[in-house]
Amino acid sequence: MDGAVENSVRLGVADAIADVVDTGTTIAQAGLQLIGEPLLTSQAILIKNTKTQLTDEINTLVSRLSSVLVARNYVMVDYVITEELVPSASLITPGIESPTISPLHEQGWVAVRALVDKELVHQVMDQLYDLGARGILVTEVSACRL
């Protein structure tokens, strides 16, 4: 089967399945349980022949792959806050160089956008909310170059 292999048991076309999984969440959601050890554990690696010259195309490929790997560590946080609280908020969300701050139509309010370490995002949201930030949004980042 191609696609949602875990449905094959429910459809009656299989008694057991072997599937490529990361966490097993969809397996559990289908009412199945994992048995035994993984058949294969794998990882993707990039290999270069020592005799191969680095070309612009190879450098571009490496940069693009790296941007995806780096992005896995960050999320984008957006929020609104009053202007007088921006210095304090910027200490919580300094971003990479600095946060992006845009004025809002409502006088005295600004929108703030900054990259945040994914592992710290919930603490950051708590701190921002306690400070007075509202409309706090967290967005996954699919690629970034820092």
| Fold category of 73-140 in CATH | Alpha-Beta Plaits (3.30.70)
pLDDT at 62: 92
Q: How far apart are CA 55 and CA 59, in angstroms?
A: 6
Q: What share of the chain has pLDDT > 90, as a percent?
A: 62
DSSP H or E stretch at residue 27 = helix 25-29
Task: Grade residue 1 by pLDDT with cuts at 50, 70 and 90.
Answer: low
Q: How far apart are CA 45 and CA 21, in angstroms?
A: 18
**What pTM was estimated for this model as a whole?**
0.70
The full set of domain ranges for the chain reads 1-48, 73-140
On the question of pLDDT at 24 being above 80, the answer is no
Task: Grade residue 37 by pLDDT with cuts at 50, 70 and 90.
Answer: confident
Q: How far apart are CA 85 and CA 108, in angstroms?
A: 10
Q: How far apart are CA 14 and CA 5, in angstroms?
A: 10
Task: Pick 70 or 2 by higher pLDDT.
Answer: 70
Task: Pick 103 or 8 by higher pLDDT.
Answer: 103
